[in-house]
A = this chain, B = another copy of it.
Amino acid sequence: MSTLTAGDRPARPYHHGNLRPALLAEAVRVLAEGDAASLSLRELARRLGVSHAAPYRHFADKDALLAAIAQQGFELLVAQVEAAAAQHPDEPARELADTGWAYVRFALHQPQHFQVMFGRGAPPATAYPEVLAAGQQAFGRLLRVIEDGQRAGRIVSGEPRELAVAAWSQVHGLAILLLDRQLPVVDEAECEALVRRCVQIQQVGLGR
């Protein structure tokens, strides 16, 4: 009874060794169906066939679990933005537009991560230095696009950090409003069109 014969599959494969990654993966799965507030450590433990106290061996508390997911998210975001920016390195306008759309697409495709990274029940990033660092790396990537564009004479001169904040806040706002369903958009194609149009407006200028 207490030993497994060859044909048996262990009923709870997470008992030893990989509970931490299993908790993270399961959390992302649960987040896909709800928000961070309705995610519970007890439910994760239940799903993984482990006692409700077991997660506390791997995470100090619920916020620490969320912070780990946020960090993961920033790494994914950096990778995707990087890939988008790399496609047209000598067309700054297009590079910026692709970068912006990659940002919003990430928010729409990985809402679980995005929601934990920003807004709602997200743990205050300031309390988790690794998360803060991951976020700044993503910002740094955008900064490079701006600086390259300035060198190529295709982006207005000015403090690059300010221009990057302007560009970031634009796409960040779009991502949030789209996720909150505050904009009348039905499918992803419409999303992309809207985002590219807004980025274009920002490039050309709203005033006259």
List residues of chain A with CB under 8 Å of any chain B CB.
35, 37, 92-93, 96, 118-122, 124-126, 135, 153-156, 158, 162-163, 165-174, 176-177, 180-183, 194, 197-198, 201-208
| Extra pairs beyond A118-B119, A162-B201, A166-B206 (15, CB < 8 Å) | A92-B207, A120-B120, A120-B121, A124-B181, A155-B207, A162-B194, A162-B197, A165-B194, A166-B197, A168-B177, A170-B202, A172-B173, A173-B174, A201-B202, A203-B205
CB pair B121–A181 under 8 Å, yes or no, is no
- Which residues of B have CB within 8 Å of A174? 165, 169, 173
* A176:B207 contact, CB within 8 angstroms: no
- With a CB–CB cut-off of 8 A, which chain B residues contact A37? 37, 120-121
Q: Hey, which chain B residues are within 8 Å of A122, CB to CB?
A: 120, 180
Given the complex, which residues of B lie within 8 Å of A163, measured CB to CB? 201, 206
Q: Is the CB of B119 within 8 A of A180?
A: yes
Contact A166 B202 (CB under 8 A): yes
* B35–A182 CB distance below 8 A: no
Residues of B within 8 A of A121 (CB): 35, 37, 120-121
The closest CB in chain B to the CB of A119 belongs to B119
Once the chains bind, are B204 and A205 in contact (CB under 8 Å)? yes
Q: Which residue of A37, A119, A155, A163 has the most chain B CB atoms within 10 A of its CB atom? A: A119
Q: Are B180 and A118 in contact (CB under 8 A)?
A: yes
Whether B96 lies near A206 (C-beta < 8 A) is: yes
Output the nearest chain B residue to A167 by Cβ-Cβ distance.
Answer: B206
